[in-house]
Amino acid sequence: MGYSDFCVGKSSEVTACPELVEGALDYSKSFDGYNTVGLGPCPRLASCEILYRKNKPEKAMEKIMGMIKTQKQIIEISKMAELISQLLQKSLSWVSPGMSTFDLDAMIEAEIDRMGVIGSCKGYEGFPSVSCLSVNDQVTHGIPDDTLLKEGDIIDIDLVIERNGYFADCSKTIGVGKISKEASRLVSVTEECLSRGIKAAIPGNTLGDIGFTIQSHAESNRFSVVRDYTGHFIGLDMHEDPMVKNYGPPHKGLELKPGMIFCIEPMINQGWRSVTTRGWDARTRDGKLSSRCEHMVLITKTGNKVLTSH
């Protein structure tokens, strides 16, 4: 079988293909993501125009095997995770009423330069800054501006850094000065969602178990789970497949195996889960608060290791 006998496609493409051989379909079913990989010999690749992107089998295998990191990759990614944890903790300590998110971003950028790493958000598909600073009803991807932070706000600081091709990503929401009881409950329940999600991230469980745990906890606290954004695998890129959903049925999706590294990042809304976007900016449709918290998790033989700290 030559190179052209293999293909890689999105899950929707793969499952839609009438010619797909069994093995590839199994593969696509075992994943649960937006850029899911399907791999398999295909009889009509040469003439296929619609459904398939051709690829060399080595490349396709690389993509699939990329989910299981090597020992060296784990060491390097863990180093980056330590660095981003220090950076996030510092950034959170700088938050104070009266400062603009633009100023906060400038301080973070200076620190990133001092650390000798790259701030991966800046320039990513045109994103203008090193940090995503999402205040109050902003769900994610808040672009720093001259709006001043004020007592009672909540702010999510979301950072991604890279060095020598290894990536780390984490985020946390905190209050600016004293915040309302309800805001504080939202922030703590979001953190609980994350820690429950992490507890579910063990070998033998599936991505669905993580999402189910998070959704159950959020909804039993009368909050809602954002569907438009999810966690993701990470390490050799900022966002790797598959996605790590914060919702959905248990026991579904990819089975977790030692060597996988991914970000769990529940985005929890005070009100309805709908999000409205304008360019990057993503806000709750009902204008109520949104909170997020993100860790990088490595699946180990016996459970997991949280690579980030905050």
- d(Cα 141, Cα 169) in Å, to the nearest integer? 13
Tracing tokens 């909170």 back to the chain, one arrives at 291
Contact between 263 and Co ion (CB under 5 A)? yes
Binder among 86, 124, 188, 249 for ligand MF3 (CB under 6 A): 124
| Closest approach of Co ion to the CB of residue 149, in Å | 22
| Closest approach of ligand MF3 to the CB of residue 163, in Å | 16
Q: Whole-angstrom distance between the N-terminal and C-terminal Cα of the chain?
A: 50
- Give the nearer residue to ligand MF3 in terms of CB position, either 196 or 232: 232
Positive or negative torsion for Cα 189, 194, 199, 204 = positive
Residue 124 interface partner, choices ligand MF3, Co ion, none, CB cut-off 5-8 Å depending on type: ligand MF3
Tracing tokens 């996605």 back to the chain, one arrives at 243
| Closest approach of ligand MF3 to the CB of residue 132, in Å | 5
Contact between 157 and Co ion (CB under 5 A)? no
For the segment 126-185, give every residue that binds ligand MF3 (CB under 6 A): 127, 132, 141, 158, 160, 169, 171
> ∠ at Cα 62 (161, 26), nearest 5°?
115
Task: Using DSSP, state whether 242 is helix, strand or coil.
Answer: strand
Q: How far is CA 44 from CA 51, 254, 285, in A?
A: 10, 28, 45
Tracing tokens 């990536």 back to the chain, one arrives at 167
Contact between 153 and Co ion (CB under 5 A)? no
| Closest approach of ligand MF3 to the CB of residue 240, in Å | 11
Main-chain phi, psi angles of 272, to 5 degrees? -70, 155
Task: Extract the tokens encoding 165.
Answer: 């091709």
DSSP state of 206: B
Contact between 169 and Co ion (CB under 5 A)? yes
| Count of residues near Co ion by CB under 5 A | 2
| Closest approach of ligand MF3 to the CB of residue 259, in Å | 21
| Count of residues near ligand MF3 by CB under 6 A | 9
Residue span binding ligand MF3 (CB under 6 A) among the ranges 1-9, 26-34, 62-70, 121-129: 121-129
- d(Cα 246, Cα 295) in Å, to the nearest integer? 13
DSSP state of 237: S
Helices 101-115 and 71-94 sit at what angle, rounded to 10 degrees?
Answer: 140
Contact between 76 and ligand MF3 (CB under 6 A)? no
Q: Per this entry, what is the length of the chain?
A: 310
- Give the nearer residue to Co ion in terms of CB position, either 95 or 263: 263
Residue 87 interface partner, choices ligand MF3, Co ion, none, CB cut-off 5-8 Å depending on type: none
- Give the nearer residue to ligand MF3 in terms of CB position, either 13 or 240: 240
Binding positions for ligand MF3, rule: CB under 6 A: 121, 124, 127, 132, 141, 158, 160, 169, 171
- Which residues sit at the interface with Co ion, rule CB under 5 A? 169, 263
